[in-house]
Every structure is written in structure tokens, then in C-alpha cells.
Amino acid sequence: MTSPATPLISVTGLARHFAVRRDLLGRPIAVVRAVDGVDFTVRKGETLGIVGESGCGKSTTARLMLKLIEPDAGEIVFDGAEVGGRDLPLKEFRRQAQIVFQDSYASLNPRLTIEASIAFGPQVHGLPARQAVERARALLARVGLEPARFAGRYPHELSGGQRQRVNIARALAFEPRLLVLDEAVSALDKSIEAQVLNLLVDLKEEFGLTYVFISHDLNVVRFMSDRVMVMYLGKVAEIGPADAVFATPRHPYAGALLRSMPSMDPDNRTEEAPISGDPPSPINPPPGCRFHTRCSLAEPVCAQRAPVLGGGDHGVACLMHEAGSGHSRAVGAAA
């Protein structure tokens, strides 16, 4: 039994910029700084939730972490070994770290029966065909799709919820240790979503998994996560224990995001929007703190100086929490 505090995966200085326009000579003239220097760890056995709005880099972070996209910079260490290094070749890392996407249909080969789709991965990794099919059928049963009825079906013959169960089984067929769920329940109806979330909670326990759970739905993230990371325009704004982040958010953006959730109380409806305007484009993001253009507490220094993520277990990247940053609300320079 490993201690829950040891990291399963840790990411340092992760960055990826995409050129969106090039000049005649092919030199980039506009760059999306999708992920721009992100550090975090995921501890063994925990669920790390990642929240943020479109364009904040949460999905890109997940893809970079799994090396589905090659990072421009950054180091990824999985259970003590450098990913892609001698001790952990990429192929073996990919077996141990799997992902389930939002689009349940696009993730499955339309020409393969779901049983064949699930059995395909383990076969690539050397499991004999007969055993792979056995594993596929056992997993189908485990995710609630009776093999006798479902094994021979094709993806288009299933509902969205059933297909997402297949994708979960497909990921588990590799016997992974880390499962990234990238908006995996976002396309499902609420009554089906609850069923799949329950299944995920059970599977985590049963297979001793570690989850990275990405969603724009804060309620779902709160339900699933031990710790939560809030991203804004390619940077980490705040990271900490889920209860602490939801109860006492430290970053002004995290607070505004939480207050933007519908109230669910007819006698206490939201009367004022917590922030105005749309998130700025990640192409040429604002200098300094990227949130300063929408932040009600911003001061001139916020446009000049980029905050650094600090603050230990409940970390925040905001000049108000940086001693001597020059922001009037900042704690005074350390004595």
C-alpha cells in the first residue's frame, strides 16, 4: 500500500504554444499560448479536478501530460521515472496512463464491434487474442453492459451513455494506473451522468486508480475531486484541496467562477454577474497577471508583474498573496 501523498505523476514547467498564423516565410506571427508554464502533481490514489473556461488550457494540459501532444517545454515524471526515458518508454507509459474523451462516438472505431475495440489495446501490448477478448467481456460486464447482449454491437447501436461505458472499459483494458477523464460525462444527460459518475467512483476504488478529472461543470468536479486546480488562460490560478478551494477560494478568478454557478435557490437568485466580459483570447494574452483585465481588484502592478504560484498546499498565483508584490492588498514584505 503506497502512501496517498506520494506523487504518481508530476509535471514541471509544462508549456505548449501553437502558431495560428504564419508569414510568407513560415515564421509564426500569432501564437496561442495554450499552456504556458504549468506545474502540478497528482498523488497516488487521488482525484485531481481541473476546472476552467474554454481556452484556459485544461484539455491541452491533459494531452501534454499524456504526451498525446509533444510539449515545447516541461518535464513529466511518472512514478519516479521520466516519461519517454530509459526506465519508462512511451509505449509503456501510455499503457499505464489512459484517457476518456467527451465525444464517445469519435473515440471508437465505427467498424469494430465494441468487444473488438476493447480487446484491441491489450493485444497491441502483447496479450494473446483469446485472453484479450475474455478481458473485454469481463470489463463490459463490469461497466454494466451485459456481454451476451452488447459484445457484438457496433458503436452506432449504442446510446451516448452506453458508448461512454465502452470507452471506460476500453481504457481499463490496459490495466492503467492513471485515468484522465476529459469532459467524459459532459455530453450525457443528467440522469445518465449520475450513473456514470457512480460507476467511476466504484471503479477507482476497485482498481486502485488515480484520476485526473477535467470538467467545466463545477458541481461535478466538486463531487469527484480530492484536490482541484483552477486554470485561466494557460496558467494555474489556484490549486488546493477541493473543500478549501470551494469554501474559501483565494484567487479572484476562482471566486468569481464559483459565484457564477446558478444559485438553485428561487429566493436567492443571482442579481449581479461576478465578472463582466468574455475571457480574452489566448492569442497574445494580457501581460502581467492574465486575469487583470477582468479582475475587480486589479491594480496597475497587475498589468506589469506576473504572479508566481505559491502558498503551499492551497496554492494561488495572485499578487495579493505575494509578499511585497506592490499590490496594496498584498501582505507586507516579509520582515
Partner 1 sequence: MSAVELQGLNVTFTGGTKPVRAVRGVDLGVDRGETVALLGESGSGKSVTLRALLRLNPERKSRIEGSIRVAGQDVMALRGRALEDFRGKVASMIFQEPSLALDPVYTLGAQIAETVVKHEGGSRAAGWARALELFRRVRIPEPERRLNAYPHEMSGGMRQRAMIALALACRPQVLLADEPTTALDATVQIQVLLLLRELQREFGLATIFVTHDIGVAVEVADRIAVMYAGRIVETGPVREIIRNPRHPYTIGLLRARMGHEQRRGARLEAIPGAPPDLSALPPGCAFAPRCRFAEPVCSVQDPAEEAVAPQHLVRCLRSAATLAPAG
* Residue ranges in contact with partner 1 by CB under 8 A: 53-54, 159, 161, 189-195, 197-198, 201, 216, 218-220, 222-226, 242, 256-257, 260-267, 269-279, 281
Rounded Cα distance, 118 and 256, in Å: 41
236 DSSP 8-state letter:
E
The residue among 79 and 193 lying less far from partner 1, judged by its C-beta, is 193
Kindly report the number of other CB atoms within 10 A of residue 321's CB atom.
21
- 269-300 burial: b if 16+ Cβ within 10 Å, else e: eeeeebbeeebbebeebeebbbbbebbeebbe
The residue among 14 and 228 lying less far from partner 1, judged by its C-beta, is 228
What SS3 class is residue 146?
coil
Say if CB 211 and CB 245 are below 8 A apart: no
The residue among 122 and 240 lying less far from partner 1, judged by its C-beta, is 240
The residue among 111 and 149 lying less far from partner 1, judged by its C-beta, is 149
**The residue to which cell 471503479 is assigned:** 203
| CB of 150 vs partner 1, minimal distance in Å | 13
| CB of 238 vs partner 1, minimal distance in Å | 15
| CB of 282 vs partner 1, minimal distance in Å | 12
The residue among 82 and 205 lying less far from partner 1, judged by its C-beta, is 205
Kindly report the number of other CB atoms within 10 A of residue 241's CB atom.
14
| CB of 195 vs partner 1, minimal distance in Å | 4
| CB of 257 vs partner 1, minimal distance in Å | 6
